[in-house]
Amino acid sequence: MTRGYHHGDLRAALVRASLDLLAEGGPGAFSVAQVARRLGVSTAAPYRHFPDREHLLSAVAATAARDLAAEVTAAADAAGTDPVDRFAAAGAAYLRFAVRTGAGFLVIFSAELSEVDDQERTAATRALMSGWIDLVTATGDRPMQDSLHLIEEQIALAQGYTALYTQGFFHRSSVPVDEIADRVALGSRRLITGDASAP
């Protein structure tokens, strides 16, 4: 966790500190002033690297998209070769990432970033979605729009469980995050198979 800043790349430190704040309190905890305080720099210092809050959040979204893509790919690869297992593993990986970092799709695809021209973020989010599309299309032949709907439904499932978990709906001492991730994986399998009894 970033605690204070002394020398080096302030831009990178601002992004890391922003991710720390998101992990601790979610998007509601994010502000440029809080990031500056976390690093022990003046509230003006971040604006030497980012013109406004939205550009800092855009850099954070790009980093989160790359990190999530790497975790989804690793989880899918660990799940083996069965396409349904790989798709299910992606949903579970999303849940774990969003719970741990606070930087799920609500941050990565934040509506407030729609007007920010950031090629780095655009490339990172495209790569993330391209990988996800590959995972879902491998599960069966269907129109692309249907595949996109399946991704949407999987993310809605995972994001919903993330919100329930992080907001205290589950007693964390008795319901570990891995159990919630397993529920997301199960729900993801059902989205593909249509089988309510899918293991």
- Per residue in 36-46, pLDDT (tens digit) is 988 989 888 88
pTM: 0.86
Average pLDDT of every residue of the chain: 89
| pLDDT, position 1 | 43
The DSSP symbol for 194 reads: -
Task: Encode 28-59 in three state secondary structure.
Answer: HHCCHHHHHHHHCCCCCHHHHCCCCHHHHHHH
- What are the φ/ψ torsions at residue 198 (nearest 5 degrees)? -60, 130
Q: Residue 143: which region, alpha, beta or left (left: phi > 0; alpha: psi -120 to 50)?
A: beta
Could you give the domains of the chain? Answer: 1-50 (1.10.10.60), 54-193 (1.10.357.10)
**Cα 73 off chain centre by:** 13
Q: What percent of the chain has pLDDT over 70?
A: 92
Question: At 198, is the pLDDT very low, low, confident or very high (cuts 50, 70, 90)?
Answer: low
d(CA 113, CA 93): 24
| Closest C-alpha among 66, 58, 22 to residue 162 | 22
Instruction: Please state which of the ranges 21-30, 81-90, 103-112 shows the lowest mean pLDDT.
Output: 21-30
Given a cut of 90, whether residue 124 has pLDDT beyond it is yes
The DSSP symbol for 27 reads: G
The DSSP symbol for 71 reads: H
